Amino acid sequence: MKTISSRDNAQYKELVKLAGSQQARRKAGRTLLDGVHLCQSYLQLRGMPEQCVVSESALHNAEVMEIVGRLEAQRAHVLALPDALYNGVSQVEHGVGVMFLIDTPEPAVTVPVSVSAVLLDGVQDPGNVGSILRSAAAAGIKQVYCSGGTAFCWSPKVLRAAMGAHFVLDIFENVDLVELVRAARVPTLATSGYAAQKLYEIDLRQPVAWIFGHEGQGVADDLLSQATHKVVIPHMGQVESLNVAACAAVCFFEQLRQNQQHQS
Instruction: Encode pLDDT of 217-227 as tens digits.
Output: 999 999 999 99
The Cα angle at residue 214 between residues 212 and 217, in degrees rounded to 5: 115
- N-terminal to C-terminal alpha carbon distance within the chain: 53
pLDDT tier at 236, thresholds 50, 70, 90: confident
Q: What is the mean pLDDT of residues 183-204?
A: 94
pLDDT tier at 262, thresholds 50, 70, 90: confident
Share of the chain above pLDDT 90, in %: 91
Q: What is the DSSP letter of 138?
A: H
Instruction: Encode pLDDT of 78-89 as tens digits.
Output: 999 999 999 999
3-class DSSP state of 214: strand
pLDDT tier at 260, thresholds 50, 70, 90: very high
pLDDT reading at 53 higher than 70: yes
Mean pLDDT of the chain: 95
Give the model's pLDDT for residue 3: 95
Structural element, H or E, at residue 51: strand 51-55
pLDDT tier at 126, thresholds 50, 70, 90: very high
Q: Within the chain, how many helices (H) and strands (E) appear?
A: 10, 12
pLDDT reading at 239 higher than 70: no
Question: Which residues, in sequence order, are CB contacts of 238 under 8 Å at separation 6+?
Answer: none
Beta carbons of 60 and 96 less than 8 angstroms apart: no
Length of the chain: 264
Q: What is the mean pLDDT of residues 134-144?
A: 98
pLDDT tier at 202, thresholds 50, 70, 90: very high
Q: What is the mean pLDDT of residues 90-111?
A: 92
The answer to whether the Cα torsion of 35, 40, 45, 46 is positive or negative is positive
pLDDT tier at 118, thresholds 50, 70, 90: very high
Q: What is the mean pLDDT of residues 72-76?
A: 93
Distances 254 to 32, 118, 164, 191, 235 between C-alpha atoms, Å: 34, 14, 23, 14, 15
Give the model's pLDDT for residue 247: 95
